[in-house]
Structure 1
Amino acid sequence: MSNTTKLAHDKKVASLADDYLQQGFTVMKEPTTDSIPFDLGGYQPDLIVTKGDTRLIIEVKTKASRVSVDKFQSLAQEISKHEGWRFLLVTLEDAESSKTPTSINELPTWPQLESKLLQVQTLIAEGLVEPATLYLWSIFEAALRKRAIAQSIPIERLPAPTLIKHMYSQGEISVNDVDTFLEFMSSRNRLAHGANEAIDPHQISSTLKLVSLYLSEWSIQNPD
């Protein structure tokens, strides 16, 4: 790790520690293996933060593109075997920790997400395609992050494009659908940033059907 990279890494760790302290967590920086009450084969995280029944083991990486999901998924699965404990992977590209869910309970339930889809259908029926596009994407992104947590795939904090690609590589999104979601996200992003984006009604309708199918499948496999 270069000096510049290490500086960025350490700055992110310090920022995370401050965020969690402000939220009332007990924070342990650079914990030793003895600080973890179960064996992780000598693994040492960057942070351990705890508050009540929430106990997070946090690893900080500088580049989302360099993350080995398989390696960290095995670690996340082992940690999740212990009640109240969860692994959290953070990169420099992540959103602010204070605005990112730290547990699956902070995300909408599957029934709530399905109810929100009905609202998207209403917006489309009323010709309100732009707000329908923005709302549909927020629903799908929440579902992606919820599914990642449920499956112990520690990528729920990654930027949306990287999140989609990793979920595809983990077999959570089919090869036939990943391009549809990426194209829809691109349209949504241009719209969200003020572009005069013409939304194709067929695109939003087909994306809505896909999101509905994934929500249905994931809710059955990982019920709230």
Structure 2
Amino acid sequence: MSGSMSRLEEAAIKALVPQLEAEGFEIFLHPSKSMLPPTLGDYRPDAIAVRPDRKIAIEVIADGYRQTAAGLKEVTLQRLQDSLKGHPDWELRVIYAPALSPESSIPTYSRQTIEEHLARIDGTLEAMGTEAALLSAWAVFEAAARAVAPHLLQRPRPGITEALAREGYVTPDEADILRGLSRVRSEVAHGRLDLTPTRDQVRDLIRITRGMLDGGEGTDHQSPQTSPAG
């Protein structure tokens, strides 16, 4: 993954995580060389899914990237597929990440749906592990932010913590916690295998998300008269 495509590719892989985990796989972004068949040489797939009897090399092609780099990518995919032929426990899976147009927006979910996801993460924290739990909890946090502050966060954009703090949806102390969690989440999502979030960090994010939902109900946060820049 590289450059402007990284967010799209990461989102596409994250969408696969619940299904793969339900099938017993553990997912690794940017896998190290030691985790791959030696026939791949220096090549790294975007992610791998691993369980004792089966392994999947995952390659992502982002929409909008196909026209400029699809030829190179197709050559790479063919080489990757050829390299895996001698390893019957490995398979190649290619997924396409649809680009978000400037006009497109992520749906806003109900409080009940958000609460159900928070409860599921909280209840299965030990089983799913803190890395997966933090990534999932951050996704739910962003969904909650869009639910309580749709005028700020109708589209994916940087500075979510600053936007929420500026209008009082989170406290200054909570904003400090979120900034730290955002850094941890980013490093874990991009392959920092030696970094393990703590249970308290995951539960802090769940707590802040629930507090934001409670504070957003019945409050009179007005949409600004002019749209934020960007």
What's the TM-score bracket when you normalise by the shorter of the two chains? 0.3 to 0.5
TM-score, normalised relative to structure 2: 0.47
1 or 2, which has the higher helix percentage?
Answer: 1
TM-score, normalised relative to structure 1: 0.48
